[in-house]
């Protein structure tokens, strides 16, 4: 009876497989599942499957070894998508067969462009669904999506901020630092609503916080959703349907600063203001408030000029009035003077001295002019004033 030892048999399988596949790479389309990434040990294990409906029709183990471990961070950085379960990926693989551990695929590359295309397709589908089901909250104008939230009026000064972020994150730190170091001395009231910003339940948690903030919409001037960038980030949560529907409905202006340069998420489109980073989000608020301050200072300056003009006009008016009064007084006094001079002349002619000079004589008794005969009696001493002198006389009869 002939037989092969297991190692010989498995070795033959390996030889057969190596003969066919060794040293070659293949591009395959597969869905990920059961993924375990060991960041410290720098390798990852996962399963690749293909489904038809809900049925798995193909399945194989796969790994990413240390020499290709960097493809994980490269993929996440390029796509903004965490390497996670249930992702359909275009992979570059090598076939490996180990006599003890069996068959597995070694992943040596992940096609980011394919994933980006898929994400865009998903995003597009979500946007269309949002628009179709919520025409009162989501709009499409000239090819650009926006929401009712984007039409919400931003208060003149944004001071009470509801901040959705991960506790103690870089994004939170950058945002708060930028606000607090503003050069205009503006003070802020920041209320944090901490949440997960990545992972399976991140969108749900964020939605809960958004709903909580909405209940206190009277108090807050805006909602800021911030998250720091980096390679290990997952932006797909910001394309979540339910989260974005609530964001579109929220009555307080929402500003996003979710730290990605890749492209624009649905949350960015639904938000009132889309800023690329938490720092830029805070800077926008500072500048928005500074604009108000500059308007107030401008009014103050204009007011000073207006008052100056007003006082100048008033003074000018008073000066003109004073001039008119002076002219009137001058005219009045001149007229009065002329009148007085006339009277002076007129009365001057009637002066007793002038009367005497004209050839008349004056009779005075006790230094009083005598004008009636009855004022005189016999023996009265009188003075007779003549043109050329005075004569003493006595009344004889």
Which residues contact other proteins (rule: CB under 8 A)? Answer: 155-157, 159-160, 184-189, 191-193, 212, 216, 219, 289, 292-293, 295-296, 299-300, 302-303, 306-307, 310, 313-314
Distance between CA 62 and CA 28 in Å, rounded?
12
- Please state the closest distance from residue 94 (CB atom) to other proteins, in A: 51
Q: Name the residue nearer to other proteins (CB basis): 318 or 329.
A: 318
80 sits in the region (left: phi over 0; alpha: psi -120 to 50; else beta) called: left
Q: Name the residue nearer to other proteins (CB basis): 191 or 393.
A: 191
- Please state the closest distance from residue 159 (CB atom) to other proteins, in A: 5
Q: Name the residue nearer to other proteins (CB basis): 53 or 185.
A: 185
Q: Name the residue nearer to other proteins (CB basis): 120 or 180.
A: 180
**3-state class of 158 per DSSP?**
coil
- Please state the closest distance from residue 219 (CB atom) to other proteins, in A: 7
Q: Name the residue nearer to other proteins (CB basis): 136 or 185.
A: 185
Q: Name the residue nearer to other proteins (CB basis): 219 or 347.
A: 219
What long-range pairs does 196-201 form, CB within 8 A, spacing at least 24?
196/166, 197/165, 197/166, 197/169, 197/171, 197/227, 197/237, 197/258, 198/82, 198/232, 198/233, 198/234, 198/237, 199/234
- Please state the closest distance from residue 187 (CB atom) to other proteins, in A: 4
Distance between CA 32 and CA 118 in Å, rounded?
15
Distance of CA 58 to the CA centre of its chain: 54
Question: Among residues 139, 172, 166, 155, which one has the least CA distance to residue 253?
Answer: 155
Would you say 234 and 202 are in contact if contact means Cβ atoms under 8 Å apart?
yes
- Please state the closest distance from residue 272 (CB atom) to other proteins, in A: 17
- Where does 166-267 show beta strands of DSSP type E? 189-194, 222-226, 254-257
- Please state the closest distance from residue 178 (CB atom) to other proteins, in A: 16
């Amino acid at each position: 009876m002939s037989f092969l030892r297991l190692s010989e048999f498995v070795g033959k399988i390996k030889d057969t497989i190596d003969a066919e596949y060794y040293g070659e790479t293949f591009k395959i389309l597969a869905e990920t599942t059961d993924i375990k990434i060991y960041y410290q040990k720098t390798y990852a294990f996962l399963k690749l499957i293909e489904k038809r409906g809900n049925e798995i029709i193909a399945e194989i183990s796969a790994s990413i070894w240390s020499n290709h471990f960097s493809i994980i961070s490269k993929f996440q950085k390029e796509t903004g998508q965490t390497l996670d379960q249930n992702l359909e990926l275009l992979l570059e693989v090598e076939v490996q067969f180990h006599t003890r551990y069996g068959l597995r695929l070694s992943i040596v590359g992940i096609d980011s462009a394919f994933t980006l295309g898929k994400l865009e397709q998903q995003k597009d589908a979500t946007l269309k669904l949002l628009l179709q089901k919520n025409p009162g909250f989501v709009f499409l104008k000239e090819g650009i999506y926006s929401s009712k939230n984007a039409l919400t009026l931003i208060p003149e000064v944004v001071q009470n901020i509801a901040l959705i972020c991960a506790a103690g994150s870089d994004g939170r730190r950058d945002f708060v630092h930028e606000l607090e170091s503003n050069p205009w001395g503006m003070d802020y009231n920041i209320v944090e609503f901490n949440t997960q910003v990545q992972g399976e339940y991140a969108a749900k948690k964020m939605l809960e916080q958004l709903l909580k903030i909405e209940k206190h919409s009277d108090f807050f001037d805006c909602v800021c959703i911030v998250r720091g960038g980096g390679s290990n980030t997952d932006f797909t949560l910001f394309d979540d349907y339910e989260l974005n529907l609530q964001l579109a409905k929220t009555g307080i202006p929402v500003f996003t600063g979710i730290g990605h340069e890749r492209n624009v998420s649905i949350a960015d489109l639904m938000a009132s203001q889309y800023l690329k980073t938490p720092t830029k989000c805070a800077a926008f608020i500072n500048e928005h408030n500074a604009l108000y301050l500059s308007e107030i200072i401008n009014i103050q300056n204009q007011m000073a000029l207006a008052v100056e003009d007003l006082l100048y006009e008033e003074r000018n008016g008073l000066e003109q009035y004073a001039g008119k009064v002076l002219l009137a007084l001058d005219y009045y006094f001149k007229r009065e003077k002329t009148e007085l001079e006339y009277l002076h002349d007129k009365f001057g002619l009637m002066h007793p001295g002038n009367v005497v000079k004209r050839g008349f004589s004056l009779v005075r008794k006790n230094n009083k002019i005598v004008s009636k005969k009855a004022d005189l009696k016999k023996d009265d001493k009188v003075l007779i004033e003549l043109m050329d002198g005075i004569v003493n006389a006595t009344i004889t009869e």
